[in-house]
Copies of this chain bind each other. A is one copy, B any other.
Amino acid sequence: MTITVSGTHIGVPAQLPSPVPAAEYETCPVTEVLRRVGDKWTLVVLVLLGRRPYRFNELHRAIEGISQRMLTRTLRTLEQDGLVDREVHPTVPPGVEYRLSPLGTSLLGPLSALADWATTHHDEIAAARARGGQ
């Protein structure tokens, strides 16, 4: 399927199959990226690496509450998707640096648009929750 974009709003082509095919929706690039960046730790890792390179344990200390396992998994996934570059220095003890790839850096722009929207409209969401219950 691939959800398409035209101008300033998300558009689904007029000839969109109805119903939206389940298989194609789940493999849709937009869906994939949102689910990835919507997981628990990816955002803060991207934000930190967007500032400067980090060593593994340095990241671990910089993100309160993240487990070793999830930091590893988050970094591995980002690396596999080409968003993060991993650089090993064969010293003793070993030093591993993580940095955003150009692709990863290019993601920060659109991500910022969403972040901007979130901070701008956060009070409206809070107000709606206060009215509606929960």
Contact = CB atoms under 8 A, between A and B. Distances in A.
Interface of A: 2-5, 7-12, 18-22, 25, 29-40, 43-44, 46-48, 50-51, 61-65, 79-83, 103, 105-119, 121-122, 124-125, 127-129, 132-134
Contact of A110 (B22, B39, B80, B114): B114
B80 A47 contact: no
Contact of A61 (B12, B19, B37): B19
A2 B117 contact: no
29 contacts: A3-B43, A7-B112, A8-B112, A9-B108, A9-B109, A10-B47, A10-B50, A18-B61, A19-B61, A19-B62, A20-B44, A20-B64, A25-B65, A30-B114, A32-B118, A34-B34, A34-B37, A34-B38, A36-B38, A80-B129, A81-B128, A82-B129, A82-B132, A103-B128, A106-B121, A107-B117, A111-B114, A113-B114, A114-B114
